Amino acid sequence: MTDALLIDNVHLVSPGRALQRQAAVRIEAGRITWTGPREQASQAVRTVHGHGALCLPGFVNTHNHTPLTIVRGMVEDLGFAPAYTPGIPQGHWLSEEETYLLARLGQMELLMAGCTTVVDYYRAPDALARAALETGLRAFIGGRVMDADTAALAEGRFERDAALGERSLRDSMDLITHWDGADGGRIRAVHAPHAPDTCSRGLLQEVARLAAADGRPVHTHLAQSPLEVDHVRAREGMSPVALLDDVGLLNPNLFAAHGIYMDDADIALAGRAGIKLCHAPIGNAAFGATAPVLALQAAGVQVTLCTDTKSADMFETMRMAIVAARVRAQRFVLDAVTVFGWATEGGAQALGLPDLGRLEPGCRADLVLLDPQAPNLVPVVDGAGILVHAGNAANVRHVFRDGEHLVAEGRPTRLDQQAVLRDAQAVADRLWARARAG
Ligand SMILES: [Zn+2]
């Protein structure tokens, strides 16, 4: 009782439930213990006044690489996989400290956009975990494992770099040893083989063996580009989906980002295996593509949503998921209620957190309050509709994770926002100067 927090005067928008107007939420020991009409709320030690704000569960954003904020705004018009393009800062130039400073920017942005649970993976994963410890996000961190030579990739060639494979696998296992379960289980470690084209068959088999032994989830990219499909077909004589099945990775523990270039056989195979899709509609559309999300869902794939470091805005992502599906189908498919479910409860369930993603007693107290004065959030009639079709990340005013007030009045409480921005800009300035110097 001593730490009871009351969030008063809010309209609750929770997946699967009707909008609850003029409500209050009671939080104790990091969990929601009561929701109901505000006039029935009992006193608490501390009260946060919502002033009629929309209140929703924290978003679950299932696929990001926060250090890639380094190239934001500079590569989107350059075509596929610009990270390998000469003249662009290369990931392997980043020191551990620089990776940390960029991850801190990306994670702060995610948090301020209302994402309380994120999946973040890249090289130098210790830096990502360190950032997560500081930012306060509920984080699933992975060390990117691959054995394709990055210099050759920059020239469009696939060459195996066995030393990189060993080193990245060692970093990934060190991450698991040192970070899995950190801060009372808030930070978890996952396996993260990069993609079927940038990992050799042997490396994928090794990750499959490790994941089968420890039961940890596996996050990867799958069927992301025609280049990947062509390369894997030439190398293995099968599709990327079939390859992952062949090496033992295609199972309910697999989180596959993108899933664009899949034929009917791939979709059926992925559905039977019960994999999870990390749907990134904005990134896909930026490359001129849409993913067969509804066909995958109908086949048995569980759909989750992610911003994939394009922005941290899950509102935009929910909206774009609908737009992309309708453009693909050429008719009205998908609705706000469904994509809101994917962005909250669905993502949480997929990650193995059944007590997350809803505003109900017993659930973890991950909540977001929006700006009650925002013109774009009026009128409030049904909740999910206005959030999905009109909301944006800049509407986020308060964010709680496990009841901890991580964003208050739009400002992070744990971080010096100015310092985070300044440090990330300094890293970008150094890296871009080097890239331009050739
Ligand atoms: Zn990705």
Q: What is the pLDDT of residue 88?
A: 82
Å from CA of 254 to ligand 1 middle? 14
Å from CA of 64 to ligand 1 middle? 6
Distance in angstroms (rounded) separating the CA atoms of residues 54 and 273: 38
SS3 215: coil
Å from CA of 23 to ligand 1 middle? 38
Å from CA of 10 to ligand 1 middle? 35
Segment 331-359, tens digit of pLDDT:
999 999 999 999 999 999 999 999 999 99
Q: What is the pLDDT of residue 3?
A: 84
Domains belonging to the chain, first-starting first, are: 5-57+361-402 (2.30.40.10), 59-334 (3.20.20.140)
Å from CA of 308 to ligand 1 middle? 6
Å from CA of 228 to ligand 1 middle? 14
Å from CA of 63 to ligand 1 middle? 6
Å from CA of 195 to ligand 1 middle? 9
- DSSP code at position 160: B
Segment 39-97, tens digit of pLDDT:
999 988 899 999 999 999 999 999 999 999 888 888 888 876 655 677 788 888 899 99
Å from CA of 375 to ligand 1 middle? 34
For residue 363 the two structure tokens come to: 């659930």
pLDDT at 185 over 80: yes
- DSSP code at position 148: B
Å from CA of 378 to ligand 1 middle? 34
Q: What is the pLDDT of residue 154?
A: 75
Å from CA of 70 to ligand 1 middle? 14
Q: What is the pLDDT of residue 279?
A: 98
Q: What is the pLDDT of residue 213?
A: 98
Query: Which residues lie below 8 Å from residue 4, measured CB to CB, with a gap of 6+?
Result: 26, 27, 28, 33, 44, 45, 46
Q: What is the pLDDT of residue 150?
A: 84
Q: What is the pLDDT of residue 81?
A: 61
Å from CA of 121 to ligand 1 middle? 8
pTM for this one? 0.97
Segment 215-259, tens digit of pLDDT:
999 999 999 999 999 999 999 999 999 999 999 999 999 999 999
Å from CA of 91 to ligand 1 middle? 13
DSSP calls for 341-363: HIIIIIHHHHTT-TTSSS-STTS
Å from CA of 334 to ligand 1 middle? 24
Segment 368-413, tens digit of pLDDT:
999 999 999 999 998 999 999 999 999 999 999 999 999 999 999 9
Å from CA of 285 to ligand 1 middle? 14
Å from CA of 394 to ligand 1 middle? 24
Cα-based torsion angle of the residue sequence 41, 43, 45, 47 in order, rounded to the nearest 10 degrees: 50
Å from CA of 324 to ligand 1 middle? 18
Instruction: With beta carbons less than 8 A apart as the criterion, state whether 306 and 61 touch.
Output: yes
Segment 186-217, tens digit of pLDDT:
999 999 999 999 999 999 999 999 999 999 99
- Of the pLDDT bands very low, low, confident and very high (cuts 50, 70, 90), residue 153 is confident
Distance in angstroms (rounded) separating the CA atoms of residues 347 and 59: 8
Distance in angstroms (rounded) separating the CA atoms of residues 39 and 204: 57
- DSSP code at position 38: G
Distance in angstroms (rounded) separating the CA atoms of residues 278 and 255: 6
Å from CA of 280 to ligand 1 middle? 9
Å from CA of 12 to ligand 1 middle? 32
Instruction: With beta carbons less than 8 A apart as the criterion, state whether 250 and 275 touch.
Output: yes
- Chain-centroid distance of CA 432 in Å reads 26
Segment 86-140, tens digit of pLDDT:
778 888 889 999 999 999 999 999 999 999 999 999 999 999 999 999 999 999 9
Å from CA of 49 to ligand 1 middle? 38
Distance in angstroms (rounded) separating the CA atoms of residues 54 and 371: 8
What is the pLDDT of the chain when averaged over all its residues?
A: 95
Distance in angstroms (rounded) separating the CA atoms of residues 344 and 318: 11
Å from CA of 102 to ligand 1 middle? 16
| Residue whose structure tokens are 């030439």 | 234
Give the pLDDT mean for 173-185.
98
- Cα–Cα nearest to 59, from 320, 361, 304, 394: 304
Q: What is the pLDDT of residue 113?
A: 98
| Other Cβ atoms within 10 Å of 155 Cβ, number | 11
**Phi and psi torsions of 29, nearest 5°:** 50, 40
Å from CA of 25 to ligand 1 middle? 35
Segment 280-323, tens digit of pLDDT:
999 999 889 999 999 999 999 999 999 999 889 999 999 999 99
- Of the pLDDT bands very low, low, confident and very high (cuts 50, 70, 90), residue 262 is very high
Q: What is the pLDDT of residue 155?
A: 77
Q: What is the pLDDT of residue 192?
A: 98
Reported in sequence order, the residue ranges of 182-295 that DSSP labels E, i.e. its strands, are 187-193, 218-222, 254-258, 276-279
Å from CA of 406 to ligand 1 middle? 26
